[in-house]
Copies of this chain bind each other. A is one copy, B any other.
Amino acid sequence: MEVGYGSGDKTGFFTQGRRSLEALIVQFKVKTVELARNIKKLGQDDPRRVIHSLKVGLALTLVSTFYYCQPLYSNFDETAIWAIMTVVVVFEFSVGATLGKGLNRGMATLMAGGLGIGAHHLANLSGHIGEPILLGFFVFLQATISTFLRFFPTLKARYDYGLLIFILTFSMISVSGYRDDEILEIAHRRLSTICIGGATCVIISIVIFPVWAGEDLHNLIALNIEKLGNFLEGFGDEYFKRTGREECNEDKKILEGYKSFLNSKTSEASLANFASWEPGHGRFPFRHPWKLYLKVGTLARECAYRIEALNGCLNADIQVSSEVSTIIQEACTTMSLESGKALKELALAIKIMVPPSSADPHIENAKSAAKNIKSLLKSGIWEDIDLLKVIPGVTVCSILVDVVTRTEEIAASIHELASKAQFKSAESPLSEQIQSVKSAPMVNCSHVITVSESTLAASQSESSSAPKDSKQSMEV
């Protein structure tokens, strides 16, 4: 019996073991498939990510084999480090970020190198005992001051990396135990290897499928305003006819596309910062007014907060009653539709860089609808209706009136942008051009929204928020 039990246990053990092994394998397969799907999605969402990875690999291989095949210096290892390190650290997703980091690194190394050599020389004069004390004091002083400077918002935005490299280079050079003439030689070698690494990054990032932060910012702002327009265009139908038809998830996705915009301030700011490092490219000259995009973005975000409130009305427990609905529907739908159209025209005007005058008639329509609703509310039509039934409708009306005002402000800021950036009327008849561009983005719309949301989810990947379709059309 005991043996029987034992063998039964053993069989049970093996069976159980095989089963759990099989379960493990199945789980592993599922995980692998899931991982592969994630990787594929990440690449498909923005193929520029794959290209960027290949570019980094190329730059690194170029620099390292260059040094490997032609050892220019006797002490090969040490100098190769600096070129490789520069490529790894400086190569960023967009041209602007790469240039900014490269220039920061180069300038900081030059300046800190000069100061460091001076400090080293000064310390040398003070004798054998005084030297380490004086050097320690210098290192402490400059590290403390530079670290504190990094807290200044303006310096942090543009020169944070430069200050870091300044601390690093100064400390290394002033501490190193070499004689003065050797130091000069080392400083020279370091600077030249850093230049080689930096130049490789900048050239590859500009020549091979460049990703311009400025263009990303331009497209991001246009896309966000278009999303607001999408919501407003769909809002009237959704609000007044929601009892009449089934809810469609696809519609809802388009309607709620604006949500990613509520938190995009940080990405806009960093894109504008990168863009300011970029040379003139394509449609954007060197001193393109990037800061005005931030102003447009801020105003549009103000509008997005109102739209968030409208979305709250859409999902509220108490919906508008049918008798109120018949009274306000026309004016509300007009306000919503016309300001939506105006916003989409404004987005389009940014996208194709023409003065946004085609939005003006829609704004006028929205304004007159707002006037209508105000006089409608003044009329005696409401006396028979229970106030509680009126409230949801009236709330929507007042938010929409507010949205019309915001739309006007956005239009004014885009007019300013158009005049400062010298947007020119297209040579081909505008309506044709608009038709041709209009048909394109709507097809990919839900896709574009997915892209930006997945991008914004990675809160620190601040330089890849532009839609890919507009990018591709530029490359073709």
Contacts and interface: CB of A to CB of B under 8 A. Distances in A.
A114 to B, nearest CB: 18
A189 to B, nearest CB: 13
A64 B131 CA distance: 13
B84 A175 contact: yes
Contacts of A89: 164, 168
Interface in A272-309: 305-306, 308-309
Instruction: State the oligomeric state as a number of copies.
Output: 2
Contacts of A378: 386-388
A40 to B, nearest CB: 12
Interface string A163-191: 01001100110011110000000000000
A138 B58 CA distance: 11
Contacts of A84: 168, 171-172, 175
B61 A136 contact: yes
A295 B33 CA distance: 30
Interface in A245-280: 262-263, 265-266, 269-270
A266 B263 contact: yes
B377 A458 contact: no
Contact of A391 (B43, B152, B308, B398): B398
Interface stretch (A45-53, A223-231, A332-340): A45-53
Contact of A64 (B67, B175, B382, B388): B175
A148 interface: yes
A300 to B, nearest CB: 14
Contacts of A312: 306, 402
A77 B390 contact: no
> Which has the most chain B C-beta neighbours within 10 Å: A38, A60, A172?
A60
A387 B381 CA distance: 10
Contacts of A160: 460
Contacts of A135: 64-65, 68
A412 interface: no
A57 interface: yes
A422 interface: no
A64 B391 CA distance: 71
Nearest to A406: B312
A136 B76 contact: no
Interface stretch (A12-20, A24-32, A139-147, A213-221): A139-147
Interface string A84-118: 11001100000000000000000000000000000
A143 B175 contact: no
Interface of A: 38-39, 42-43, 49-50, 52-54, 56-58, 60-61, 64-65, 67-69, 71, 76-78, 80-81, 84-85, 88-89, 132, 135-136, 139-141, 143-145, 147-148, 151-153, 156-157, 160, 164, 167-168, 171-172, 175-178, 262-263, 265-266, 269-270, 305-306, 308-309, 312, 374, 377-378, 382-383, 386-388, 390-392, 394-395, 397-399, 402, 454, 457-461, 464
Given A312-B402, A378-B386, 12 more contacts: A49-B148, A50-B148, A53-B145, A53-B148, A61-B136, A64-B171, A84-B175, A89-B168, A156-B461, A382-B387, A383-B383, A395-B398
30 contacts: A42-B152, A56-B143, A57-B139, A57-B140, A57-B144, A60-B143, A64-B139, A71-B177, A76-B177, A77-B178, A78-B78, A80-B172, A84-B172, A88-B168, A88-B171, A89-B164, A89-B168, A153-B454, A153-B458, A156-B460, A156-B461, A157-B458, A263-B265, A377-B387, A378-B386, A378-B388, A387-B390, A391-B398, A394-B394, A394-B395
